[in-house]
Amino acid sequence: MADTIVIEVARYSPESDAEPRFQKYEVPLRGDWMVLDALNYIKDKLDGSLTYRWSCRMGICGSCGMVVNGYERLTCETLLAQFAPGPVRVEPLRHFPIARDLVIDMTDFLDKLTRVKPWIVRKDKTPPPREYIQTPEQLGAFKQYSNCINCMLCYSACPVYGIDPHFIGPAALALAERYNLDSRDQGADQRLDILSQHDGIWDCTVIGECSEVCPKEVDPSLAIQEFKLTATKEWFKSFLMPWGGK
């Protein structure tokens, strides 16, 4: 194994750049380093102006999502040595505006998350007298969708979101389904209206790349397709059995 490897990083500073450019740095090639370690080395020792998001460095906070050699990765979980002899190309997540270097503007993503009513909706007028009882089987019904760490890798991988930024997107739809399937929740009908709009589930063409890149195996594509079945059933019910109470 060679001693060093070249990292090619996207740079962009609104004050001085009209558009992003790439800058090369040579970093040590340590066998136990992740790509994030290389970025931290650059910032600490070579060029303190390199800017990127990171936090937990253990794959749970979702801050360090970037595109490494063409694929969406969490840089804290991506072994550097696998790219030897390099170079390693690190770019910001796709389909979001670039604010600075590897930092993207995630406002649209946050809006989409809030839009699907990601909380327990109850029809009771008063709070219950004790905590909700939920069996392990009931938890199992939605647990997978609750593992989302909001890293946005799925939005970067989804061409539909790239073509049409109005698409609500994989993570938000998986989050909606997480609440729909939660036995404590009574808000499925409210979410149905939001999700059945044309920029909701029906924008999805089942490419499946979102589930491919998800670091937490949330499988948002499955959530979307399952909800398409649910939405279709509801649609039939609405005119076959219009008396059904909501």
Partner 1 sequence: MASYSDFQPREYHRSFSNLWWLERFNYLIFILREFSSIFVGYFLIVTLSQVCALARGPEAYAAFQDWMRHPLVILVNIIAFAFLVLHTVTWSNLVPKAFFPRSHGHRLPEMTTALPSYILWLVATIVVAAFILGA
Partner 2 sequence: MSSTARTVLPGANPVLALGSDEERRIESGYLRKSDGREKISALREEMQHTMEAGAGIYRVRASIAAAADKIADIQERYKAVSMEDHSRTFNTQLIAALELGFLLDVAETILQCALQREESRGAHQRTDFPARDDIKFLAHSLVSKGSNERPVVSYMPVTITRWPPGKRVYGEQSKDGGHDSH
Three-class DSSP labels, 162-220: HHCCCCCCHHHHHHHHHHHCCCCCCCHHHHHHHHCCCCCHHHCCCCCHHHHHCCCCCCH
Residues 81, 33 contacting (CB under 8 angstroms)? yes
Q: What is the DSSP string of 43-55?
A: IIII-TT------
Among partner 1, partner 2, none, what does residue 199 contact (CB within 5–8 Å per kind)? none
What, of partner 1, partner 2, none, does residue 163 touch, CB below 5 to 8 Å by kind?
A: partner 1
Q: Which residues bind partner 1 (CB under 8 A)?
A: 12, 14-15, 18-20, 70, 94-95, 97-100, 105, 136-137, 140-141, 159, 162-163, 205-209, 211-212, 221-222, 225-226, 228-229
18, interface contact from partner 2, partner 1, none, CB < 5-8 Å by kind: partner 1
Measured between its terminal Cα atoms, the distance across the chain in Å is: 64
61 contacts partner 2 (rule: CB under 8 A): no
Least Å from the CB of residue 122 to partner 1 = 26
Binding residues for partner 2 restricted to 7-26, rule: CB under 8 A: 13-16
State the minimum distance, in angstroms, from the CB of residue 103 to partner 2: 5
Using CB under 8 A, which of 60, 103, 194, 222 touches partner 2?
A: 103
Which CA distances in Å does 174 have to 17, 192, 215?
37, 13, 14
Identify the residue among 21, 44, 55, 207 touching partner 2 (CB under 8 A): 44
Q: What residues numbered 137-166 form the site for partner 2, per CB under 8 A?
A: none
Residue whose structure tokens are 């090619």: 8
* Structure tokens, 198: 């044309």
* Cβ(104)–Cβ(144) below 8 Å: no
Pick between residue 14 and residue 244 the one whose CB is nearest to partner 2.
14
**Contact residues for partner 2, defined by CB under 8 A:** 13-16, 43-45, 47-49, 51-52, 99-101, 103
